[in-house]
Amino acid sequence: MEIKGLAEVLAAQPLFAGLSTETMSFLESCAKNEVFEAGVFLFKAGGQADRFFLLREGDVALELQIPGRARLTVQSVHPGHVVGASWMLPPYSWRFDARALTAVRATSIDATCLRRKCDDNPALGYEVFKRFLPILADRLQAARVQLVDLYAPPGEIGRAG
């Protein structure tokens, strides 16, 4: 397996493309590589959203526990994706569980550290939020499309044929 340094990993992320050398150095100081075995939770709903993950290898399920029912996967996340957006908005607590479906390698960014930096440097904060907004918008759109029930059998919306 190819071992990459944090700087190289972060530089390869489209999310961070075009950021200044200074900002990338700062992000590197807030980042660390993490490994999760299959079945292990990256985070659980209600926990403090103090970081987010850049998924490098493996698959992660975003899940919801509903008492009396089986665990519900609302979305799966795959290499190249960001896991976790609750760090951006108060009260900074996870809304879903994130569970490794396979062995996972991810780079995590310390969100407390990044939030503080964004507060101190609004231009950076604006840049970071601009980069996360499309991710949030895509996930909102995906959730809405899932609600549409694209493949409902025609019999459920009127008989034909």
Partner 1 sequence: MNDAAAALAEQGGDPGLVPRPFEVVGTRRELDDVVTLELAPLDGQALTFLPGQFTMLYLPGIGEIPISISGDPARPERLVQTIRSVGAVSEACCALQPGARIGVRGPYGRGWPLEAALGRHLIVLAGGLGLAPTRPIVTWALENRSKLAGLHLLYGARTPDAVLYPTQLLGWAGAEAANVMVTVDRHSDQWSGRVGVVSDLVPELPFDPALGTAMVCGPEVMMRFSLQALEGWGMAPAQMYVSMERNMKCGIGWCGHCQLGPHLLCRDGPVLAAPQVSDLIGVWEL
CB of 29 to partner 1, least distance (A): 29
Of the candidates 43, 59, 62, the one whose C-alpha atom is nearest the C-alpha of residue 103 is 59
Q: Indicate left, alpha or beta for 95 from its phi (over 0: left) and psi (-120 to 50: alpha).
A: alpha
Cα distances (Å, whole numbers) of residue 145 to 53, 78, 141, 149? 25, 19, 6, 7
Say whether residue 7 binds partner 1 (CB under 8 A). no
Q: Give the integer Cα–Cα distance in Å for 35 and 21.
A: 27
CB of 51 to partner 1, least distance (A): 23
25 or 146: CB nearest partner 1: 146
> Using CB under 8 A, which of 74, 103, 113, 136 touches partner 1?
74
Q: Give the integer Cα–Cα distance in Å for 66 and 72.
A: 8
Only one of the segments 22-30, 44-52, 110-118, 149-157 lies at the binding site for partner 1 (rule: CB under 8 A); that segment is 149-157
Say whether residue 150 binds partner 1 (CB under 8 A). yes
Give the binding site for partner 1 (CB under 8 A): 59, 61, 70-76, 78, 80, 101, 138, 142, 145-146, 148-155, 159-161
